[in-house]
Structures are given as structure tokens and as C-alpha cells.
Amino acid sequence: MLSSYSTADKVLLALDCIIFGFDQHQLKILLIQRDFEPEKGKWSLIGGFLKRTETLDDAAKRILNHLSGLDDIYLEQLYTFSEVDRDPGERTLSTAYYALINSEDHKLLEDGDYTAKWFDIKEAPNLIFDHNEMVQKAILRLRRRAVSKPIGFELLPEKFTMLQLQKLYEAILDVELDKRNFINKVNALDILVKLDEKDMTSSRKGSYLYQFDKEKYDQKIEEGFTFKI
């Protein structure tokens, strides 16, 4: 049986990471400008290759840690892309992941190997290979997850206003939400803590700040609670 391995085709396995951020107004995506061929000078997702000693999840975490220095990023495997001619360099499969980062709080590490830049999702440049398709699949997954799980809070600072939360969901879902209905839905979930602090930058009276209560959410899930925005 082992001898048959030597006759099997060898292919490369890459990982590409769709990294989303939020700047309190727009959904963002982090891209790099390639400084090597093929497609030198064009914009790309951030990625790398699987090492022999890694699982896919380990490799994705390594790539993101190298970029941000963070170990606690929300990360989810998306899809494996396997078109024969997807990479003109060599026969390469790519497993895509998407990640959520609070782009205002988390600063990217400087690296001479690439130029990284945040783009508004609606203004992102055309990407290499099949990376545009990866991004579209990731956006659809993010929208499904955001209305059924509290992953959106990964894109916000630890303390946020109700308006910031609404703007986030509007950016993710690409719709305008009614303020009163949205606040009523969020309050009905009973998973936020209203703080005594206010954000004084939005108005003279200020807006109360909130925090996501993960411990309470986890307890409610055990009791059969369903998250739905």
C-alpha cells in the first residue's frame, strides 16, 4: 500500500485568509500587494502554505499571528478551492478561512515581505486568481453567521454604543435597519450589559456604552436560547 504513494500526484496546499474589520462605519477587508510572481504588484488575500507538521487550523492561526501578533482571532474554515488551473504557478489547492478583527484596536505588524492595506469592502480592488470568489463566499457566510450567532461583536471594541452595533449589522447585511426595531430585538436577547459610562463623541448628551456578556450568552445557550437578529 505504501509503495502506491510514490506514484500519486503531488499537489501544493495553500491557505488564504479573508480578514474582515470594521471602522465604525464600513465593513473592511485586509489585502496585500504581492511583491513576487505570478501577478506581482496586484492585490491578494493574505495566505501561505501548509507545513508537514501542521493541521489546516494551525496553519491559518500561524499566518494570522504572523500578520497581527494575535492568538485570539475569530477564525472559521470556509471552503476548499480546487480548480485545476486556479494558480498559474503550480497545481495548488487552497483552503480559505475568514477571520474577524477589530481593525481599530488591533495594529498590524510591520513586515518587509508585503504591503498590507485595509479597503472598504465595496471599494476593494480586483484580486488575483479566484480570490474574488473566496471573498464573495466569505461575505455570504458572514451574513448567515451574524444573524444566528453573536460573532459580530468580534468586530467591535470591548465597549460600544447601540448605534455602533446597528451600524455594524447594517454594514454586514448591506441593508438599512430601523433603529427602534433593531434596539428592541437586541434588548430582547438580554445578552448585553449597559454600563454607567457614555461615549461623548456622538452627541452633547452622549450615548451609553454596552458590553457583550459572553458568560450569560453561554449559559442561555445551554438553556436552549436561540440567537437571532
Q: Give pLDDT tens digits for 58-81.
A: 999 999 888 777 778 899 999 999
Which CATH number characterizes residue 214's domain? 1.10.10.10
Summary mean pLDDT of the chain: 91
| Mean pLDDT within 14-27 | 94
Assess whether pLDDT exceeds 70 at residue 124. yes
| Domain assignment of residue 142, yes or no | yes
Assess whether pLDDT exceeds 70 at residue 228. yes
Q: Which triple of cell numbers denotes residue 4? A: 502506491
DSSP string, 138-187: HHHHHHHHHHHSGGGGGGS-SSEEHHHHHHHHHHHHTS---HHHHHHHHH
| Domain assignment of residue 218, yes or no | yes
Which CATH number characterizes residue 52's domain? 3.90.79.10
| Domain assignment of residue 228, yes or no | no
The residue type at 212: F
Count how many domains the chain has.
Answer: 2
Domain that holds residue 83: 2-148
